[in-house]
Amino acid sequence: MKLSDRVQKVPPSGIRRFFELAEEKDDVISLGVGEPDFSAPWAARTAAIDSLERGKTSYTANRGRRDLREAIADHVTRYDQQYDPDEEILVTTGASEAVDVAMRAFVDPGDQVAIHEPSYISYVPGVIFAGGEPLSVQTQAENDFKLTYDDLEAAGAADAEVLVLCYPNNPTGATMSRSDLAEVAEFAREHDLTVLADEIYAALTYSGEHTSIATLPGMRERTVVFNGFSKAYAMTGLRLGYALGPSEAIGAMNRIHQYSMLSAPTTAQFAALEALRSCEDEVQEMCKQYNRRRRFVLSRFNEMGLDCFEAKGAFYAFPHCGGDDEAFAEALLQEQDVAVVPGSVFGAGGEGHLRVSYATGMADLREALDRIETFVSG
Ligand code: PMP
């Protein structure tokens, strides 16, 4: 069978390869997956069950149920985002679908898409599947992995059509304040870039405040925001996300979505609606627990000499392990049965680091960090 050039250009996920290694062993503590250890709030699960009991098993409107879009429009006002539920919101099958559809809606063959790295692993394949050319923009550990005007300029991002921005960041946990974002916005306006802002970790910001680049002057009209229910509401398996943007952009994304997906999962839309209506306390409680774990993990890494900057968002620590991060992670797994992800999987600037997820219970975290300390001092 002939495979397309596009699919052959994309290697299998480096994270997956690591998990297959981990699965071959018993007793492994995994700090590898970027997935909450909590279950979705009970009220959200009940709403899904209830919808099934009432026989709500049909497609919804392509853009998602109207009541859910209204609830999303209402919810995002907490980030000063104002979007019209009829024209400017698309409910998707996870933020993942929003990423995929956006690449296909905004990228022509040969267009450059600037992606700051280290970053989440789906953007580069998404660009390649859309026929575009990924352009790596390395952020610097000295700047706590924030994207700067100079990083963009040095990488030649002035020639790109699209910029992907992911803060709070997976894998570093870095966040960007309004003043940090101002220089990125300036660059985007100067060079007429479309910005795809993946804000799926917006609710997991431990300083308490998330700023969306879409709210900076002149940015709303050139930005599409991705968000979803996987992280904040511990709903990864329900596969529900959304995109926010100007009506023309959301309309273009919907043109693809209506053919490729028809509508996002109906049962999950009921769960999501209830999550937005009544689960704020559960989100706050999960956030509190992540924050406790974050402080614990950071202090343990720094005590054992694996330097770790103070990540303010998401649920990852990104300690510096020096040298060959793949060899480090592989030896740690073999010798101490702890799975982490080598930083180089996340692109330029990730080498010499490890991504450690603290979406793991405290008892396992404690044991895993003891084992890492034994490994490091051994
Ligand atoms: N963006 C980022 C930055 C992520 O970390 C993830 C999940 N690992 C996603 C998007 C995909 O999320 P979803 O489950 O909503 O497809």
The CATH number that applies at residue 82 is 3.40.640.10
Residue 33 or residue 78, greater confidence: 78
Give the ipTM. 0.99
Q: For residue range 318-340, list pLDDT tens digits in order.
A: 999 999 999 999 999 999 999 99
Give strand pairing partners of 339. 30
Residue 168 in contact with residue 314, Cβ under 8 Å? Answer: yes
The CATH number that applies at residue 358 is 3.90.1150.10
- Is there an atom of ligand 1 within 6 Å of 234 CB? no
Of 282, 278, 273, 233, the C-alpha closest to 56 is 273
Q: Does 22 have pLDDT greater than 90?
A: no
Residue 241 in contact with residue 211, Cβ under 8 Å? Answer: no
Q: Does 20 have pLDDT greater than 80?
A: no
231 CA to centre of ligand 1 in angstroms: 8
pLDDT at position 194 is 98
Q: Is 103 left (phi over 0), alpha (psi -120 to 50) or beta?
A: alpha
- Is there an atom of ligand 1 within 6 Å of 368 CB? no
Query: Is residue 308 domain-shared with residue 365, that is, in the same domain?
Result: yes
Residue 84 Cα distances to 70, 216, 244, angstroms: 8, 18, 9
Domain count, the chain: 2
- Regarding pTM above 0.80, the answer is yes
- Across the range 191-195, mean pLDDT stands at 98
Query: Is residue 271 domain-shared with residue 351, that is, in the same domain?
Result: no
Boundary of a domain, candidates 228, 256, 278: 278
Q: Does 370 have pLDDT greater than 90?
A: yes
pLDDT at position 234 is 98
Please, which pLDDT band fits residue 243 given cuts at 50, 70 and 90? very high
Query: Is residue 174 domain-shared with residue 141, that is, in the same domain?
Result: yes
Q: Does 19 have pLDDT greater than 80?
A: no
> Structural domain of residue 300, as residue ranges?
5-40+281-377
Residue 50 within any structural domain of the chain? no
Q: Interior CA angle at 88 toward 116 and 271, to 5°?
A: 90
- Measured from the Cα of 240, ligand 1's closest atom is 15
- Measured from the Cα of 35, ligand 1's closest atom is 8
Q: For residue range 286-324, list pLDDT tens digits in order.
A: 999 999 999 999 999 999 999 998 999 999 999 999 999
Query: Is residue 9 domain-shared with residue 127, that is, in the same domain?
Result: no
Q: In terms of DSSP H, where are the helices of 107-148?
A: 123-129
Boundary of a domain, candidates 246, 278, 310: 278
pLDDT at position 18 is 74
